Amino acid sequence: MARRERVVRMSVEQPLWRALTAYRVLTMAYAVVLFVFTRDEFERPWVAVAFLAVMSVWTLATLPKVAGATSCTKRFLVADLTVALTGILLTPVADVHAQTFDGPTLPSIWTAGSVLAYAIKGGWRWAAFASSLVAVANIVERGHPSRDTLHNVLLVWVASIAIGYVVEVARASERTLARALEIEAATRERERLARDIHDSVLQVLAMVQRRGTALGGEAAELGRMAGEQEVALRTLVAGGLTRTSRVSEDESLGAVVREVDEPDDDGPADLRTLLAPHAGARVTFSEPGAPVLLAPDAARELAAAVSAALDNVRRHAGDGARAWILVEDWPDEVIVTVRDDGPGIPEGRLAQAEGEGRLGVAQSIRGRLRDLGGTAELVSVPGQGTEVELKVPRVSRGKAGK
């Protein structure tokens, strides 16, 4: 099974739906308890009992409806608000003195749950619509609105609109975050593919160009064409790629084998076995006596970065250059040092190469180590060679061996 990156996201509004579910149940119970303690004040208690029974059954039966935005449909919102408005308007029928004293309505604060459902589902505009209907119903129920009535109406109206606005902002932020994650994932994939292309096709084209120019004749024309294709491909790499590649190449600095999109392996990999093929007449490989265990992905990427460093030695240090690979296995990290005795890198050359689209050091080496959470340090002194130190954090030996 090929390696894949999975991102699991949970909606930022889901906790609001859970809170609304609990709110509806608690306020339903509050309305029932409130009636039980004040039932002697009702002229027609049977009206209150009938409504509270309907409201309780409705609340419990529709709990799945307020579990999320998908299940909370417009039809449910209309029906739920109708129940709340009916309870408000039935209050003076059950209690004639309700219009004289600013007592609670039959649904009491359960009504706010209906308004909040509008706010979470549709934002501040839906909240303003629902709270305005509740305000009208409360004013009609009182007959002549008092200061407390207007205060309660204004409080519900402002609070619901504020919550609706917050929900809209949260949704916009979630969309922005999702887009940013997609861009980041696409950028990382583009960099990974660019490294793979650099490690394979671009190196072959560069080799054909050099050897064709050296041979002359028809081979020089092939070399020129290969150079043109190399420039075009580098431009494509900088703009994004859509596929991976696989190639193997044998050179004087040792056999270089690169594999892309390899199957996953549950067990740790020994870095020494991946780096050993580089050893040869002009490459000295120094390794610890015990296995250097890393996660399979980390081991492959680190080995590919070493291959890229050796390829730079072959291409830029000259035919007679020698290279040394040193592997150090520490408890918290693995360090691989690649050193050569070539002429070194002139100051400013790396920045110039990156500007020209030559991304060997930027992506094939530093990009790989950055993705692994490690670092790549390059030290070069003109006339004294170049040293690349690659550091990769690792788990302890106990964890690696599990």
Which pLDDT score is estimated for 334? 94
Confidence of residue 59 (pLDDT cuts 50, 70, 90): very high
Which pLDDT score is estimated for 4? 39
With 0-12 / 13-18 / 19 or more C-beta atoms within 10 angstroms meaning exposed / middle / buried, residue 252 is exposed
How many angstroms separate the CA atoms of 154 and 131, rounded? Answer: 9
Q: Hey, what are 271's tokens?
A: 């870095």
For the cut 70, the answer to whether the pLDDT of residue 134 exceeds it is: yes
Question: What mean pLDDT comes out for the span 325-353?
Answer: 83
Q: Which of 39-48, 128-137, 166-175, 222-231 comes out lowest in average pLDDT?
A: 222-231
Question: What mean pLDDT comes out for the span 45-66?
Answer: 94
Which pLDDT score is estimated for 199? 55
Which pLDDT score is estimated for 5? 38
Long-range CB pairs of 153-160 (<8 Å, 24+ gap) are 156/111, 156/112, 156/115, 156/131, 157/128, 157/131, 157/132, 159/112, 160/112, 160/115, 160/116, 160/118, 160/119, 160/127, 160/128, 160/130, 160/131
Q: Which of 32-46, 64-78, 164-178, 180-194 comes out lowest in average pLDDT?
A: 180-194
pLDDT digits (tens, 9 = 90+) for 61-112: 999 999 888 899 999 999 999 999 999 999 888 887 765 566 788 998 999 9
Which pLDDT score is estimated for 133? 93
Confidence of residue 368 (pLDDT cuts 50, 70, 90): confident
Q: Which of 15-24, 342-351, 378-387 comes out lowest in average pLDDT?
A: 342-351
For the cut 50, the answer to whether the pLDDT of residue 262 exceeds it is: no
Higher pLDDT, 284 or 177: 284
Confidence of residue 3 (pLDDT cuts 50, 70, 90): very low
How many angstroms separate the CA atoms of 107 and 234, rounded? Answer: 70
Q: Which of 102-111, 183-192, 210-219, 351-360 comes out lowest in average pLDDT?
A: 351-360
For the cut 70, the answer to whether the pLDDT of residue 361 exceeds it is: no
88 Rama class: left (phi>0) / alpha (psi -120 to 50) / beta = alpha
Question: Which of 169, 164, 241 shows the shortest CA–CA distance to 200?
Answer: 241
Residue 203: other Cβ atoms inside 10 A: 24
Q: What percentage of the chain carries pLDDT values higher than 90? A: 29
Which pLDDT score is estimated for 51? 95
Q: How many residues does this entry show for the chain?
A: 402
Higher pLDDT, 277 or 25: 25
For the cut 80, the answer to whether the pLDDT of residue 291 exceeds it is: yes
Confidence of residue 202 (pLDDT cuts 50, 70, 90): low
Which pLDDT score is estimated for 232? 64
For the cut 80, the answer to whether the pLDDT of residue 214 exceeds it is: no
Which pLDDT score is estimated for 203? 64
Count of H-run helices and E-run strands, the chain: 13, 9
Higher pLDDT, 26 or 217: 26
Confidence of residue 243 (pLDDT cuts 50, 70, 90): very low
Which pLDDT score is estimated for 380? 83
Mean pLDDT of the chain: 78
Higher pLDDT, 243 or 61: 61
Higher pLDDT, 333 or 171: 333
Helix ranges, 240-331 (H): 271-275, 296-316
- Pair 145, 186: CB distance under 8 Å: no
Which pLDDT score is estimated for 104? 82
Which pLDDT score is estimated for 254? 38
- Pair 362, 195: CB distance under 8 Å: no
Question: What mean pLDDT comes out for the span 155-159?
Answer: 85
Q: What percentage of the chain carries pLDDT values higher than 70? A: 74
How many angstroms separate the CA atoms of 334 and 272, rounded? Answer: 11
Q: Which of 16-25, 106-115, 172-181 comes out lowest in average pLDDT?
A: 172-181
Q: Which of 128-137, 259-268, 300-309 comes out lowest in average pLDDT?
A: 259-268
Q: Hey, what are 206's tokens?
A: 């560069």
Question: What mean pLDDT comes out for the span 231-235?
Answer: 61
How many angstroms separate the CA atoms of 109 and 199, rounded? Answer: 67
